Amino acid sequence: MTYIPHTPDDIQAMLAAVGVSRVEDLFSTIPEGLRFKRRLDLPPAESEIEVLRDLSALADRNRAAGSTPSFLGGGVYDHAIPSVVPALAGRSEFVTSYTPYQAEISQGVLQTIYEFQTMICELTGMEAANASLYDGGSATAEGAMMALRMAADDRHGIVVLAGVNPLYRRVLATYVEGLPVEIVHPRMESGTADLADLGKRVSQKTACVLVQYPNWLGNLEPLREIISIARERGALVVVSVDPVAMGLLKRPGGLGADIVVGEGQGLGIPMSGGGPALGFLAARMKDIRQMPGRIVGATVDTEGRRGYVLTFQTREQHIRRARATSNICTNQALVALTATIHMAALGKGGLRETAVQCAQKARYAADRLSAISGFSLAFSGVSFFKEFAVRTPVRPAVLNRALAKAGIIGGLDAGTLDKKMKGLWLIAVTEKRTKEEIDRMAEVVSAVVSKRKLTPARAFPVGGPGIEN
Amino acid sequence: MPDIDPRTAPVPTIFELSRPGRRAFRLPSLDVPNRSLDDLFGGHLAEEPPALPEVSEVDVVRHYTKLSTRSYGVDTGFYPLGSCTMKYNPKVNEEASRLAGLAGVHPLQNEDDIQGLLELLYLLERSLCEISGMARVTLQPAAGAHGEFTAMLMIRKALAERGRSPEEKPRRIVLIPDSAHGTNPASAAIAGFEMVEVKSDARGLVDLGDLRKKASAETAAFMLTNPNTLGLFEENVLEISRIIHEAGGFMYLDGANMNAFLGVARPAEMGFDVVHFNLHKTFSTPHGGGGPGAGPVGVAASLVPYLPVPMVEKEGDRYRLDWDRPKSIGKVHAFYGNVGILVRAYAYIRTLGADGLRRVAEIATLNANYLRVKLRGRYHLPHDRICQHEAVFSARNQAARGVKARDIAKRLLDYGFYAPTVYFPLVVEEAMMIEPVETESKEEIDRFCEAMIAIADEAEKNPDVVRNAPHTTPVRRLDDTRAVREPDVRWTRR
């Protein structure tokens, strides 16, 4: 199957019109020596039925949430997705359209992006948002790079709190490797920023402080104090947020953040192996010309009717080329649309209820686990949202293996992402988890420690960047 | 009846439909103890949740359905947008990406629990290696420009590893043809390079004399699009590679136009060291109103050590993620890239097979040449010879009568077509870049050409109808200047 409609007669007629006798002649401009003489060594073509059979067989070899309760987070979460979300986001006029260059026949796509930008502004407490970025990792890096553009020329330090997801830290380090930028890592104390150390690390050379809220261990950073320390020293603040948490917690915009970024996967997006995900970025209106990516604005047509266009395009690569604020062209538009429909379906009350249920269920799970002999919360006295770190008497990998046998996806072995967090077990609980699932998880864990003779088990060979900073 | 035309009446924003207390989704009631939020969160608690709209499920469905009807996709009609390869997006690929065992996978699950996903990523990488002739491919970049950036970071790291003698200057120049996509210079700049432009010659190809002059011991790389943005194959690509390699630089292929030579030629044999793919162009994954795409990057052996982590490796019949790559540039995406898009591309490659992919290049090229000869009598064609996957016309003859490329683009909307890419490439005045992909039939191309010819007639006889187009769309031409002067980038209650 090739999806090509041409009949042999069509091809003959077209070749005749072009004035060549064979299709091969159309490649006469490719030097003979460059023409590929053999056939690509690929598996044979398959019918639709066979392709689905093959891919279903691959899919069946994965253990997937949906059939399996999951307590795994670390940046991607098993949140509920209302049925209307995929039903509407899957409408093919949306799915098969291009970036809305021709605004007059793309008002639908443009208006959804405008609504998305508005919702992101509401969630973050900021004045302007862009049309999306690739994911939370690249959005965090783009946020820091935007702060570098906004800061005075002699400020080229980025102070990255240890609470920022290690994977995002790795992306940031990769992004700025070629630039004259110094990354500084202040210490963590009891699961959140060590404010005294932060005060010493933020200097006249600091362009921005990068903080994640809730941080990657689930804990709520003292955002107000962090922003105040940065401000006193003239540094900007970039906050990476979980949008679901914004249903309950104070929004960084109101606390004085300069740029707010984040990962929107929790807003109706399937986990899908971590992508397509949804990076977002919001800032103040006065800084809009420093923003990366596409922006949609409202305007009027020649008859005075309201309409939408891609705007502030002079920031962008197709106009500004080497001096653009970013190289972004293709973004995550359909994912942003999906999140928009999701936020509309949840609404003001639904987002809050989702956040409350995450928080209450996470609290319940934390209470259940910390009641098991040998288990304790790694950071007591700190508020957490939907994820929390547990100290365990056996290795997290052993617990996860026992849970897998019981048909449950366990928590994250934090040491696989950050060596400093070795031995911590990170448990994520969304509104989708039931009391019964949490109880069952706690019972399996409890059984492991009560039955177990404490010989070291074979650790699962889970890969991870295991970065030191 | 009120005097409102539902086809053109503005659609209120979802916020304007909001009524306090309306809900479109409910959760089960809380089944765990309800703790005091003040106790749990204290000063972190917001007084009010974000002001998301409060609407019913029917409101949500009607609103976004209405907006979908004011959008134009490949499923709506012909999409001749040059350089964007707007081919049909097969439905089976969508179904594959939604399989619960793929869509429900968490990226940090244990390797043993995601063997099917890792195998799929491995097989896709092997397929892209075979199609390009490159040694390895990273699937991590989420878009073409993301792939360009990733490639530039690898080149930067490879050059740093190579080292230099004290008298040598750092290699900080990236050479880019004047016909290149804007992402090329932007990606090079963000990776810390300086851009030097190389001229096109009278035939629309890289000017070898200018290239020789500019290639030097400071050259890091040459970013070439082939076929180039004029739709012309760079016939001298081997000589170009020789010049750049002799100067000590890397050859980079912007693979945006790979649809033109699938199975007919391969980047590796052309001398490229690194190439990015646009899976959302060549491999039929949908554009989604601007994304998500996927921009995998293939590299020759010399750049393999610098690929982002992790890479999928096969050991016996088991797949694992290799994070232990000491020379890697790091990560450009938190996880493995746009996996759902990768699934679709893999399904496409399986559906077409080797012969089907070659057929894509053949028919895409045939369609472009057929369109070229049908329109060349009415529109100026700066390079009238065999083209590859697209043809670039100029509206300069029409512009002389006051009808610009932009006007012709807008008028096409009235005829029910999407518009070509206009004003790009920059080397052609009043450019109209038309890419009639392989999934469009002869009849559809005929209809499009008839519309283009009718517009050329209108430009002569009734230019105002073109200048004031579009006439049939929900809105007429929009005021871009006002959008910047009086910025309105979010809805607020007035």
- pLDDT grade, residue A297 (50/70/90)? very high
pLDDT at position B300, please? Answer: 98
Same domain, A247 and A365: no
Query: How many angstroms separate the CA of residue A75 from the nearest CA in chain B?
Result: 9
User: Is it true that domain B93-351 has CATH number 3.40.640.10?
Assistant: yes
Q: Would the pLDDT of A460 be above 70?
A: no
Same domain, A202 and A314: yes
Q: Who has greater pLDDT, B399 or A468?
A: B399
Q: Would the pLDDT of A458 be above 60?
A: no
Contact A307 B388 (CB under 8 A): no
Q: Which of B37, B44, B480 to mutate to test the interface with A (most CBs of A within 10 A)?
A: B44
Same domain, A215 and A168: yes
DSSP assigned state of A249 = B
Same domain, A327 and A394: no
C-beta of residue B44 within 8 angstroms of C-beta of residue A387: no
pLDDT at position B146, please? Answer: 97
Contact B27 A17 (CB under 8 A): no
Same domain, A98 and A233: yes
Q: Which residue, B202, B204, B247, B206, is CA-closest to B223?
A: B206
Q: Would the pLDDT of A457 be above 70?
A: no
Domain containing A299: what range? Answer: 84-341
Contact A349 B148 (CB under 8 A): no
List the domain boundaries for chain B. Answer: 14-69, 93-351
Cα separation of A231 and A206, whole Å? 11
Contact B51 A35 (CB under 8 A): no
Q: How confident is the model over A444-460, as a mean pLDDT?
A: 67
Out of A341, A366, A393, pick the residue that ends a domain. Answer: A341
For residue B131, give the nearest of A40, A103, A356 by CB distance: A40
Give yes or no for B10 touching A (CB within 8 A).
yes
Cβ atoms < 10 Å from Cβ of A272: 28
Cβ atoms < 10 Å from Cβ of B281: 26
Question: Which chain A residue has the Cα nearest residue B373?
Answer: A18
A119 occurs within a structural domain: yes
Contact B333 A99 (CB under 8 A): no
pLDDT at position A468, please? Answer: 44
pLDDT at position A194, please? Answer: 97
For residue B476, give the nearest of A104, A122, A333 by CB distance: A104
C-beta of residue A260 within 8 angstroms of C-beta of residue A252: yes
Q: Would the pLDDT of A452 be above 70?
A: no
Which positions 435-474 of B are in contact with A (Cβ < 8 Å)? 438-442, 468, 470, 473-474
Size of interface A-B (CB pairs under 8 A): 742
Q: Would the pLDDT of A125 be above 60?
A: yes
Q: What is the pairing mode between strands B250-255 and B274-277?
A: parallel
C-beta of residue A104 within 8 angstroms of C-beta of residue B473: yes
* Ranges of H-type helices in A282-332: 317-320
Q: What is the pLDDT of residues A141-161, one digit of tens each?
A: 999 999 999 999 999 999 999
Q: What is the CATH number of the domain that holds A211?
A: 3.40.640.10
Give yes or no for A5 touching B (CB within 8 A).
yes
Give yes or no for B96 touching A (CB within 8 A).
yes
For chain A, the domain total comes to 2
Q: How confident is the model over A258-282, as a mean pLDDT?
A: 98
Low-confidence ranges of chain B (pLDDT < 50): none
Q: Would the pLDDT of A454 be above 60?
A: no
pLDDT at position A469, please? Answer: 41
User: What H or E segment, with its residue span, contains residue A18?
Assistant: helix A8-18
C-beta of residue B92 within 8 angstroms of C-beta of residue B286: no
Q: What is the pairing mode between strands B391-394 and B219-225?
A: unpaired
Q: Which of B190, B432, B492 to mutate to test the interface with A (most CBs of A within 10 A)?
A: B190
User: What H or E segment, with its residue span, contains residue A453?
Assistant: none
The mean pLDDT value of chain A amounts to: 94
Q: What is the pLDDT of residues B321-351, one digit of tens each?
A: 999 999 999 999 999 999 999 999 999 999 9
pLDDT at position A462, please? Answer: 41
Question: What SS3 class is residue A410?
Answer: coil
Tokens coding A42: 């690929």
- pLDDT grade, residue A455 (50/70/90)? very low
A388 occurs within a structural domain: yes
∠ CA B422-B145-A242 to the nearest 5 degrees? 115
pTM attached to this predicted model: 0.96
Phi, psi angle pair for B309, to nearest 5°: -95, 150
What's the Cα-to-Cα distance from A225 to each of A195, A215, A235, A241, rounded to whole Å? Answer: 8, 15, 13, 17
Cβ atoms < 10 Å from Cβ of A77: 25
Q: What is the CATH number of the domain that holds A420?
A: 3.90.1150.10
Contact B235 A316 (CB under 8 A): no
Query: How many angstroms separate the CA of residue B376 from the nearest CA in chain A?
Result: 11
pLDDT at position B5, please? Answer: 83
Same domain, A267 and A147: yes
Give yes or no for A440 touching B (CB within 8 A).
no
Same domain, A300 and A256: yes
Q: How confident is the model over A42-60, as a mean pLDDT?
A: 97
A463 occurs within a structural domain: no
Question: What SS3 class is residue A89?
Answer: helix
The DSSP result for A135-175, as a single string, is -HHHHHHHHHHHHHHHS-TT--EEEE-TTS-HHHHHHHHHH
Residues of B in contact with A307 (CB under 8 A): 10, 475, 478
For residue A305, give the nearest of B10, B363, B438 by CB distance: B10
Same domain, A421 and A443: yes
Same domain, A297 and A328: yes
3-state SS of chain B is CCCCCCCCCCCCCHHHHCCCCCCCCCCCCCCCCCCCHHHHHHHHECCCCCCCCCCCHHHHHHHHHHHHHCCCECCCCCCCECCCCCCCCCHHHHHHHHCHHHHCCCCCCCHHHEHHHHHHHHHHHHHHHHHHCCCEEECCCCCHHHHHHHHHHHHHHHHHHHCCCCCCCCCCEEEEECCCCCHHHHHHHHCCCEEEEECECCCCCECHHHHHHHCCCCEEEEEEECCCCCCCCCCCHHHHHHHHHHHCCEEEEEECCHHHCCCCECHHHHCCCEEEECCCCCCCCCCCCCCCCCCCEEECHHHHHHCCCCEEEEECCEEEEECCCCCCCCCCCCCCCCHHHHHHHHHHHHHHHHHHHHHHHHHHHHHHHHHHHHHCCCCECCCCCCCCCCEEEECHHHHCCCCCHHHHHHHHHHCCCCCCEECCCCCCCCEEEECCCCCCCHHHHHHHHHHHHHHHHHHHHCHHHHHCCCCCCCCCCECHHHHHHCCCCCCCCC
- pLDDT grade, residue A461 (50/70/90)? very low
For residue A383, give the nearest of B44, B288, B487 by CB distance: B44
Cα separation of B266 and B130, whole Å? 9
Cα separation of B298 and A34, whole Å? 19
Same domain, A122 and A179: yes
C-beta of residue B84 within 8 angstroms of C-beta of residue A330: no
What contacts B302, CB < 8 A, 6 or more positions away? B158, B273
- Residue position matching structure tokens 């890397």: B250
For residue A271, give the nearest of B98, B105, B270 by CB distance: B105
Question: Which chain A residue has the Cα nearest residue B337?
Answer: A275
Contact B335 A76 (CB under 8 A): yes
Question: Which chain B residue has the Cα nearest residue A381?
Answer: B40
A62 occurs within a structural domain: no
A374 occurs within a structural domain: yes
Query: How many angstroms separate the CA of residue A61 from the nearest CA in chain B?
Result: 5
Q: What number is the ipTM of this complex? A: 0.97
For residue A251, give the nearest of B18, B31, B46 by CB distance: B46
Q: Which residue, A110, A166, A467, is CA-closest to A309?
A: A110
Out of A291, A306, A341, pick the residue that ends a domain. Answer: A341
Q: What is the pLDDT of residues A74-117, one digit of tens each?
A: 999 999 999 999 999 999 999 999 999 999 999 999 999 999 99
Dihedral over alpha carbons A416, A418, A420, A423 (to 10 degrees): -30
C-beta of residue B422 within 8 angstroms of C-beta of residue B403: no
Same domain, A355 and A336: no
Q: How far is CA A298 from the centre of its chain?
A: 27
Tokens coding A157: 């330090």
C-beta of residue A124 within 8 angstroms of C-beta of residue B319: no
pLDDT at position A387, please? Answer: 98
Residues of B in contact with A55 (CB under 8 A): 96, 99, 102, 120, 343, 346-347, 350
Tokens coding A230: 């940065």
User: What H or E segment, with its residue span, contains residue A389?
Assistant: strand A387-391
Query: How many angstroms separate the CA of residue A335 from the nearest CA in chain B?
Result: 7
Q: What is the pLDDT of residues A229-262, one digit of tens each?
A: 999 999 999 999 999 999 999 999 999 999 999 9
Which positions 27-86 of A are in contact with B (Cβ < 8 Å)? 27-31, 33-36, 39-48, 50-52, 54-67, 70, 72, 74-76, 78, 80, 82, 84, 86
Query: How many angstroms separate the CA of residue B392 from the nearest CA in chain A?
Result: 16
Contact A59 B323 (CB under 8 A): no
Q: Which of A42, A179, A227 to mutate to test the interface with B (most CBs of B within 10 A)?
A: A42
Same domain, A262 and A364: no
A8 occurs within a structural domain: no
Q: Which residue, B16, B21, B12, B25, is CA-closest to B57?
A: B25
